[in-house]
Amino acid sequence: MTEEILRAISSEVYGVWFLIGAALVFWMQAGFAMVETGFTRAKNAGNILMKNLMDFCIGTVMFILIGFSFLLGEDLLGFIGKPGFDIFTAYESFDWSNFVFNLVFCATTATIVSGAMAERTKFLSYCIYSGVISALIYPIEAHWIWGGGWLAQIGFHDFAGSCAIHMVGGISALVGAKILGARIGKFERDKSGKVIKVNAFPGHNLPIGCLGVFILWLGWYGFNGAAATSVSELGSIFLTTTVSPAVATIVCMIFTWLKYGKPDVSMCLNASLGGLVAITAPCDVTDCFGAIIIGTVAGLLVIFGVWLLDYKLHIDDPVGAVAVHCLNGIWGTIAVGLFATDTAPAFSRGFGDGVSFGANQIAGTGLFYGGGFKLLGIQLLGLLSVAAWTLVTITLTFIIIKALVGLRVSEEEELQGLDPVEHGLASAYSGFSILDVSNTMTMDINQNTSLGTSDYEMASEAQKNAAISVVKQTSAADADIHKVVIITRLSRYDKIKNALNELGVTGMTVTQVMGCGIQKGSGEMYRGVEVDATLLPKVKIEVVVSRISVDSVVDTAKKTLYTGHIGDGKIFVYSVDRVVKVRTGEEDFAALQDVE
């Protein structure tokens, strides 16, 4: 009796955890929305938020109507679940928990595609293919793996969806991005059509993107762990789900640091997700060592995938969905056949009787743990079958949508941004000044700006004047009040502020501006691509002096700003010929009008 009570309590506890896990997976929708929004441009933020909202809502409707029965209905020849409407006709005995759990996974598959096709896809077209993925493409292949279909029957193992969800979403993203074409300005081509340059489109809000990654990582504990049936299984799954992305991120950081000179923020965020995707299939049957190796490869695959799409395939994927989900979905599926071990607490439950198998069971240990090639062969067979199914069905879907309603917005709409043209939204950041300057202001520039010496005292007068030019404007010979405007690099602000304070200047007006000149705007790397912007962040400092010699202000500024390069700064001197003094208490204020 005691054992029966404990089993009943345990069943109830894990039933509740099952639903909590489903809620965590739903919360991942917020993570995907934040990552995609942060990694793209501000003018499309509202459109991206709307897409991430609607793929779940559309997916829910399609899953109710047909998707759930195709996935978990009575098996028909190992290929598809029997269509049915038990959710309407037999609600009192319906498996509510299973429905909700599988629904949130289905929505994840659809939202992966959004990132790779962001910033140029018609909203209507997105809604259509999102519905098709949720109704047909995902439920049928997921039935093969989790619904008692032919792959489950031979011992194929994909515990939480590296193959069924992430690879499927990643392949769909790859096909969609290829058919759709790159964003305007992403690739520069010569007259023959050959790509001669890849341009970077930096994400407009990496803090939001980072928040999205942390939300996804948190949700992944439910994604991978919700189906656990014991504390030991859950603990092991949590361990591998933590180790793999952590190692992937470190590997990516080291590699980008060595290759590009600085650790790449967005690439490392992608690597965290790549490590999570890769561990999703083997999370219950691998150990810590296996998770480390899986994460190491995942981090490298993210870097390789981004490079491959940009420089070899010339496919524009704004958020790295293909590198994260497609390549690491494939790797995670294969990793089961390499690293599955009987020391993992879930293995014995998964192995079953070793003859006949069901969902989440497994045909043996991995190649590196003495199991030979049997399990690896099964994993490869399942991977190729699901990939072929996805490739054919999603390609047909995109071709039909393109023929009927079109996939891509017009060039004018893309340049303007999808927020106003698709949703009547002036900006997702109402009240903030948003200027999209990425790849919109380029010019031929002379990068050889060095004047030969960075020492101000050693520089000749010509070198000083070339680095920091002074423009004087006079209006009255006896003017004793001057306004000095200094424009220089943002990085020199503290130095010039302190130098002017020491000179006796007690008041100044400071404005952040963007400047375009002879110097190259940026030689930094973003996701392995040089950011080709000629707009530099600058600071404009305005001071008014009378008792202090204007020449001393100019000399101090020149000496402080000088680094030995053309374009170190520019100084404008204006004489003031009219002063209106206003007495307020014991202080004098001057309202100054510059002479144009």
Mean pLDDT in residue range 29-40: 96
pLDDT score at 579: 44
Tell me the H-state helices in 352-471: 374-404, 411-416, 418-423, 461-467
What mean pLDDT, rounded, does the chain reach? Answer: 87
Using alpha carbons, list the distances in angstroms from residue 65 to 68, 71, 94, 141. Answer: 8, 12, 14, 17
For residue 210, count other CB atoms closer than 10 A to its CB: 18
373-405 residue pLDDT tens? 999 999 999 999 999 999 999 999 999 999 999
Tell me the H-state helices in 195-326: 206-225, 231-260, 265-280, 288-307, 321
Intervals of CATH 1.10.3430.10 along the chain? 1-423
Model confidence at 475, in pLDDT bands (50, 70, 90)? low
Q: Are 27 and 79 in contact (CB under 8 A)?
A: no
Residues, the chain: 596
Q: With CA atoms as reference, report the closest residue to 340 among 289, 297, 380.
A: 289
Q: With CA atoms as reference, report the closest residue to 496 among 579, 561, 571, 581.
A: 561
CA distance linking residue 258 with residue 238, whole number of Å: 31
pLDDT score at 439: 52
**Which of 88-92, 135-139, 493-497 is predicted least confidently?**
493-497
Measure CA 383 to chain center: 26
pLDDT score at 7: 63
**Residue 220 is encoded by which pair of tokens?**
């992944």
Mean pLDDT in residue range 13-30: 92
262-316 residue pLDDT tens? 999 999 999 999 999 999 999 999 999 999 999 999 999 999 999 999 999 999 9
CA distance linking residue 384 with residue 399, whole number of Å: 22
**Residue 485 is encoded by which pair of tokens?**
């405007």
**CATH no. of 1-423:** 1.10.3430.10
- Return the sign of the alpha-carbon dihedral for residues 64, 66, 67, 68: positive
Q: With 70 as the cut, is the pLDDT of residue 446 above it?
A: no
CA distance linking residue 95 with residue 87, whole number of Å: 8
Q: With 70 as the cut, is the pLDDT of residue 473 above it?
A: no
Q: With CA atoms as reference, report the closest residue to 145 among 387, 347, 323.
A: 387
pLDDT score at 351: 58
For residue 205, count other CB atoms closer than 10 A to its CB: 18
Q: With CA atoms as reference, report the closest residue to 382 among 72, 139, 134, 145.
A: 145
Q: With 70 as the cut, is the pLDDT of residue 480 above it?
A: yes
Q: With 50 as the cut, is the pLDDT of residue 149 above it?
A: yes
Model confidence at 551, in pLDDT bands (50, 70, 90)? confident
CA angle 317, 261, 277 (to 5 degrees): 40
Q: With 50 as the cut, is the pLDDT of residue 128 above it?
A: yes
Burial class of residue 368 in the structure, from the number of CB atoms within 10 Å of its CB (0-12 exposed, 13-18 middle, 19+ buried)? middle
Intervals of CATH 3.30.70.120 along the chain? 479-592
- CA torsion, ordered 165, 170, 176, 180, to nearest 10 deg: 150
What does the H/E/C string look like for 493-513? Answer: HHHHHHHHHHHCCCCCEEEEE
Using alpha carbons, list the distances in angstroms from residue 448 to 312, 445, 459, 517, 533. Answer: 30, 9, 17, 13, 16
**CATH no. of 479-592:** 3.30.70.120
pLDDT score at 591: 37
Using alpha carbons, list the distances in angstroms from residue 147 to 73, 102, 150. Answer: 7, 11, 9
**Which of 129-143, 276-290, 308-322, 483-497 is predicted least confidently?**
483-497
Amino acid of residue 122: K
Bigger pLDDT: 596 vs 240:
240
Q: With 70 as the cut, is the pLDDT of residue 178 above it?
A: yes
pLDDT score at 4: 63
**408: enclosing H helix or E strand:** none
Q: Are 274 and 299 in contact (CB under 8 A)?
A: yes
Q: With 80 as the cut, is the pLDDT of residue 561 above it?
A: yes
For residue 160, count other CB atoms closer than 10 A to its CB: 28
pLDDT score at 493: 84
- Return the sign of the alpha-carbon dihedral for residues 262, 267, 269, 272: negative
Mean pLDDT in residue range 79-90: 91
Tell me the H-state helices in 405-533: 411-416, 418-423, 461-467, 493-503
Enumerate residues 6+ apart whose C-beta is below 8 A from 302.
248, 252, 267, 270, 271, 274, 320, 323, 324, 327, 328
pLDDT score at 497: 87
Model confidence at 596, in pLDDT bands (50, 70, 90)? very low
Mean pLDDT in residue range 468-487: 74
103-120 residue pLDDT tens? 999 989 989 999 999 999
Mean pLDDT in residue range 77-105: 92
- Return the sign of the alpha-carbon dihedral for residues 12, 16, 19, 21: negative
pLDDT score at 465: 81
Q: Are 127 and 56 in contact (CB under 8 A)?
A: no
Q: Are 36 and 235 in contact (CB under 8 A)?
A: no
181-216 residue pLDDT tens? 999 989 999 889 899 999 989 999 999 999 999 999
Mean pLDDT in residue range 421-437: 75
**Residue 303 is encoded by which pair of tokens?**
């870097």
State the pairing for strand pair 569-584/468-473: parallel
